[in-house]
Amino acid sequence: FEVGWVMATRFEYKFVRLTDSELAAPAAYQDAVHKHAAERWRLVQIFTPSTSFPDGAPAIFELIFERAAEHAEPSAAADGGGD
């Protein structure tokens, strides 16, 4: 019976905060996305945690990126569940 490793995909996340003025210029957020993509980050969501303008428009945006983590951990199933 051989002990093995199961490669479960684990992710790490990065949060990049942009203000409304930064997001108003397409080059600003596009540059942020391209820069992170070059580092193997994938944009998964744009979150607006607050609204502080009278018209209800968000003042802050968070770009949420994810990428696969670089390590693996042994699985109980791979080593027979500890038997």
Nearest to 20 by CA among 50, 65, 44, 64: 50
Q: Which pair of tokens denotes residue 4? A: 């093995």
Average confidence (pLDDT) over 7-36: 86
- Residue 83 predicted with pLDDT over 80: no
Dihedral-angle region of residue 12 (phi above 0 means left; psi in -120 to 50 means alpha; beta otherwise): beta
pLDDT in tens, 30-70: 999 999 999 999 999 999 877 666 777 777 889 999 999 97
Amino acid at 72: A
Q: Tell me what pLDDT residue 57 has.
A: 75
Q: Tell me what pLDDT residue 63 has.
A: 93
